[in-house]
Structure 1
């Protein structure tokens, strides 16, 4: 079953969020310390991911083009609207804004190499170990995020399941069209691009800046396009040199 790992991941986030609700009565000082610790960990995670890029110009171009598209489409605003709608359904939580928790957790849980690699592994080989590992990490993070940001974190399970599920289902057919070399290059550069976004999330959580990270998400699509172009162009050049 190609979606098993994704389903387990979503359930882990929901369970972690429920557990985090029991921490809602702890002092604000403890909540702030937990959130700052998580933010620092997120920054380090993002830096590590960003350094994995082998063609950093692709990362830069992807963020620039993707950021422009994201601002044009106002993805951050649309995600916040979804969060505000959820807020009207569940009520304003004393421990945080539903919209803030939903947007922040969605970005942290969705943007990353484990989401892509794990979903691909589920779809291609029906192996779910990567997503099982991610489920444990996300579940623990959900506890901490919910304690600091509120119940909105729980609803991030929905986009996580949709995103990873779509990749897993696509992966059942993708090996017919994409070589392993291209797939490896794609994962590396998406990891690098996603890492920069993860760093931005960490900085936002620390209150250092207010980067509209959701508006950078189209950069992941641009990365895919640019990697494909670069790999194909390299093949064409190599073929041409072979002729002459």
Structure 2
């Protein structure tokens, strides 16, 4: 599959969702939104489980042994969580959204302009700061498929309907942000795919799968896991894999 297709699909779903939301207005029942979100949460669990099974990859076990893969993923999550929480990544992302909204959504004297800008800022942050954005785009570039981005596209399209019903066409403008951010991350994944060995990529995929479990739990409203605080685990996974290879 050609890298970048997932981002293209995501852009299209945001545009279609925003258009439909503008047409529907506030007619979409809250219960319907919740049911669809629950279904997408269950699908996220399925994709997460498939990705996490990379911990049993032959490429990884051949390089580090049968016992080390679990320790690599565990170490990556622990170190990543410590670093992410100390850096307060989750709260910083939320703070960035508040800062941008206050800077760009000031009193312009025009209700429509304010509504457009607020819709653009809020949905740009929603669509581009989540773990699925990073994990999905990197995996797409790494050649692991675009399933995660397809899931994100479905989530974003549905969210765009709801937001556009309130904010109008500013939501559609966030498709440009999606294109720039996810396109850049996909290109980064392409570069990493040429550098990282298969064992390191397997460790990265398994760690990312567990982060997706956190995303699923949030979608299902089971627990609000601060997944952004765990994102540094994606950096530690290949590093710990290299250390395990050296010690094996």
In structure 2, the residue matched to 1:5 is: 3
CA shift at 1:210, angstroms?
1.2
After superposing the two structures, state which structure 1 stretch, 217-226 or 199-208, moved more: 199-208
1:110 aligns with 2:134: yes
Equivalent pair of 2:18/2:161 in contact (CA under 8 Å): yes
Partner SS state of residue 210, structure 1: coil
Q: What aligned pairs does 1:1-244 form with structure 2 within 5 A after superposition?
A: 5-6=3-4, 8-24=5-21, 25=25, 26-54=28-56, 55-88=69-102, 89=104, 90-93=116-119, 98=123, 101-102=126-127, 106-112=130-136, 115-121=137-143, 130=145, 138-148=152-162, 151=171, 154=175, 155-171=177-193, 174=195, 183-234=197-248
Q: Deviations over 1:43-67 (max 9, x none)?
A: 2211222233131111111101100
Structure 2 CA distance, aligned partners of 1:28 and 1:74? 32
CA shift at 1:191, angstroms?
1.3
Equivalent pair of 1:31/1:147 in contact (CA under 8 Å): no
CA 211–157 in structure 1, closer or farther in 2 if over 3 Å, else same? farther
Equivalent pair of 1:10/1:161 in contact (CA under 8 Å): yes
CA 201–130 in structure 1, closer or farther in 2 if over 3 Å, else same? closer
CA 149–209 in structure 1, closer or farther in 2 if over 3 Å, else same? farther
CA shift at 1:195, angstroms?
0.8
CA shift at 1:117, angstroms?
4.8
CA 18–206 in structure 1, closer or farther in 2 if over 3 Å, else same? same
Equivalent pair of 1:10/1:158 in contact (CA under 8 Å): no
Partner SS state of residue 196, structure 1: helix
Equivalent pair of 1:67/1:218 in contact (CA under 8 Å): yes
CA shift at 1:219, angstroms?
0.3
Equivalent pair of 1:16/1:143 in contact (CA under 8 Å): yes
Partner SS state of residue 5, structure 1: coil
CA 74–99 in structure 1, closer or farther in 2 if over 3 Å, else same? farther
CA 139–170 in structure 1, closer or farther in 2 if over 3 Å, else same? same
User: Unaligned regions of 5+ residues in structure 1, if any?
Assistant: 122-128, 235-244
Partner SS state of residue 3, structure 2: helix
- What TM-score, normalized to structure 1? 0.71
Q: How many residues are treated as equivalent by the alignment?
A: 209
User: Unaligned regions of 5+ residues in structure 2, if any?
Assistant: 57-68, 105-115, 165-170
Q: Deviations over 1:99-147 (max 9, x none)?
A: 772366x3123215xx4454245xxxxxxx945x776555444323433
Partner SS state of residue 71, structure 2: helix
Q: Cα RMSD over matched residues?
A: 3.1
